[in-house]
Amino acid sequence: MPTVRNLRGLAVFLLLPILMAAFCYYTLSHLSASSPIRNRNIVLLIAHPDDEAMFFSPTIQSLVTPSLKNTVRIICFSTGNAEGIGNIRETELLSSASLLGIPNVNNSVIIHDDPNIQDSMTKSWPEDLLASLISDSLREFREDDSSNGGDGKGVDTFITFDEGGVSAHPNHISLLKGVKYYLRHYPKKNDVLLYTLNTVPVYRKYISVLDAFVTTLLDRMKNKPGEEEEGYSGTGAPKSAMYLSNWQGYKTAQKAMTEGHKSQMVWFRWGWITLSRYMVFNDLVLDTDLS
Ligand SMILES: [Zn+2]
Give me the domains of the chain, ranges plus CATH numbers.
26-286 (3.40.50)
Tell me how far the alpha carbon of residue 248 lies from the centroid of ligand 1, in angstroms: 24
Burial of 164 by CB count in 10 Å (0-12 exposed, 13-18 middle, 19+ buried)? middle
CA angle 164, 212, 194 (to 5 degrees): 45
| pLDDT confidence bin for 7, thresholds 50/70/90 | confident
Tell me how far the alpha carbon of residue 162 lies from the centroid of ligand 1, in angstroms: 13
What pLDDT, on a 0 to 100 scale, did the predictor assign at position 17? 75
Q: How does pLDDT run across 121-176, given as a tens digit for each residue? A: 999 999 999 999 999 999 999 888 877 766 667 899 999 999 999 999 999 999 99
Tell me how far the alpha carbon of residue 73 lies from the centroid of ligand 1, in angstroms: 17
Tell me how far the alpha carbon of residue 55 lies from the centroid of ligand 1, in angstroms: 9
Angle, to 10 degrees, between the axis of helix 170-185 and the axis of helix 127-147?
A: 70
User: Is pLDDT of 189 > 70?
Assistant: no
- Distance CA(261)–CA(279), nearest Å, equals 14
Query: Average pLDDT for residues 254-263, to the nearest whole number?
Result: 97
| pLDDT confidence bin for 187, thresholds 50/70/90 | confident
- Distance CA(53)–CA(50), nearest Å, equals 5
What pLDDT, on a 0 to 100 scale, did the predictor assign at position 228? 46
Of the listed ranges 29-38, 41-50, 161-170, 221-230, the least confidently predicted one is 221-230
Q: Is the model's pTM score more than 0.85?
A: yes
Tell me how far the alpha carbon of residue 149 lies from the centroid of ligand 1, in angstroms: 34
Tell me how far the alpha carbon of residue 54 lies from the centroid of ligand 1, in angstroms: 9
